[in-house]
């Protein structure tokens, strides 16, 4: 019997976007807790390096989650040979910066495919198996950006709002089957994310390791919404309209630097 609350583990954890950043750090923690790992990303060499650094029993599957059919192929590869995925972390994600109408539609489509559509498909595939088995822990990595609109990074915030809402609805549906569902909502992290999104990294960024350390134990305990960082948790008390104005101002300053 898996005892997630006691943090003892058997079975495998599937972590998307685990070649670097938050996904890599969460995979490392899960491996240290005794989970076998299936990690994924687009860059096979980066994945191999990550697998070596994580240690333990790690399988790497390359997949581009912006491409239709890849989420299904990934889940089939992860569960092949009867491997039981007891934990799924939908972490792969990307953003874009700039006025909404200046962001290329292809980039927005990629954001929606990876951050929302692929996470939704993997959620369905995992919950179907987990509900039948009667246990499992799912975490969808959203963002504090899920809690209000994000001017100058509109499609990213919208994708995370979608995922957060979908995640919490699923949580209610599968509770009766003994399956937990968590929305992880980090604030700014010290990763490659902002550079790749064409934005400046905010001054107060948390290390991915610290965020992973805070998150993994809470995911395994089945917490509902997990927000690493006391300031990020306090910010949840601020009305969404006020936060939207502050975000707009901050992004304008960051983008002009």
Ligand X SMILES: NC(=O)c1ccc[n+]([C@@H]2O[C@H](COP(=O)([O-])OP(=O)(O)OC[C@H]3O[C@@H](n4cnc5c(N)ncnc54)[C@H](OP(=O)(O)O)[C@@H]3O)[C@@H](O)[C@H]2O)c1
150 binds ligand X (CB under 6 A): no
Asked if residue 147 binds ligand X (CB under 6 A), the reply is no
20 binds ligand X (CB under 6 A): yes
User: Could you say whether residue 114 binds ligand X (CB under 6 A)?
Assistant: yes
Residue whose CB is less far from ligand X, 2 or 197: 197
In angstroms, rounded to a whole number, what is the distance separating the alpha carbons of residues 56 and 132?
28
Q: Tell me the sheet residues that pair with 49.
A: none
Distance in angstroms (rounded) separating the CA atoms of residues 156 and 234: 22
CB count in 10 Å sphere of residue 30: 27
198-228 core/surface letters (b: 16 or more CB in 10 A; e: else): ebebeeebbebbebbebbbbbbbebbebbbb
Per CB under 6 A, does 30 bind ligand X? no
Nearer CB in complex with ligand X: 22/122:
22
Least gap, CB of 248 to ligand X (angstroms): 18
- Per CB under 6 A, the list member of 3, 8, 32, 43 interacting with ligand X is 43
Applying CB under 6 A, does 19 fall inside the site for ligand X? yes
Strands 136-141 and 179-184: parallel
Residue selected from 17, 136, 150, 229 as contacting ligand X according to rule CB under 6 A: 17
Between 129 and 190, CB nearer to ligand X: 190
Could you tell me the smallest distance in angstroms from the CB atom of residue 190 to ligand X?
8
Q: Return the residue of 148, 191, 225, 232 that touches ligand X, per CB under 6 A.
A: 191
Per rule CB under 6 A, count of chain residues that contact ligand X = 30
Please compute, for residue 72, the number of CA atoms within 13 A of its CA located in the half-sphere on the CB side.
3
Is residue 29 within the footprint of ligand X (CB under 6 A)? no
Q: Decide if residue 38 touches ligand X (CB under 6 A).
A: no
**Which one of 77-85, 125-133, 165-173, 182-190 is the stretch in contact with ligand X (CB under 6 A)?**
182-190
Rounded distance between C-alpha atoms, residue 53 and residue 51, angstroms:
6
Binding positions for ligand X, rule: CB under 6 A? 17-23, 41-43, 46, 63-66, 91-94, 114, 141, 143, 186, 188-189, 191-193, 196, 208
């Amino acid at each position: 019997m898996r005892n997630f609350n006691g943090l003892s583990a058997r079975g495998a954890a599937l972590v998307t976007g685990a070649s670097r950043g938050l996904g890599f750090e969460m995979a490392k923690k899960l491996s240290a807790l005794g989970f076998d790992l299936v990690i994924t990303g687009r860059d096979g060499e980066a994945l191999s390096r990550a697998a070596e650094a994580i240690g333990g029993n790690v399988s790497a599957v390359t997949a581009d989650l912006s491409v239709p059919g890849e989420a299904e192929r990934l889940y089939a590869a992860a569960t092949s040979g009867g491997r039981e995925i007891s934990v799924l972390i939908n972490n792969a994600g990307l953003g874009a910066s700039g006025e909404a109408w200046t962001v290329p539609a292809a980039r927005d489509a990629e954001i929606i495919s990876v951050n929302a559509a692929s996470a939704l498909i993997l959620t369905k595939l995992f919950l179907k198996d987990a509900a039948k088995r009667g246990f499992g822990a799912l975490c969808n990595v959203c963002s504090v950006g899920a809690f209000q609109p994000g001017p100058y990074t509109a499609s990213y915030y919208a994708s995370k709002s979608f995922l957060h809402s979908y995640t919490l609805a699923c949580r209610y549906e599968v509770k009766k089957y003994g399956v937990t569902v968590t929305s992880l909502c980090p604030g700014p992290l010290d990763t490659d994310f902002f550079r790749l999104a064409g934005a400046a990294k905010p001054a107060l960024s948390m290390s991915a390791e610290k965020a992973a350390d805070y998150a993994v134990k809470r995911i395994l305990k089945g917490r509902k919404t997990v927000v690493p960082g006391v300031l990020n948790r306090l910010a949840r008390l601020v009305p969404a309209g006020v936060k939207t104005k502050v975000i707009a101002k901050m992004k304008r300053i960051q983008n002009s630097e």
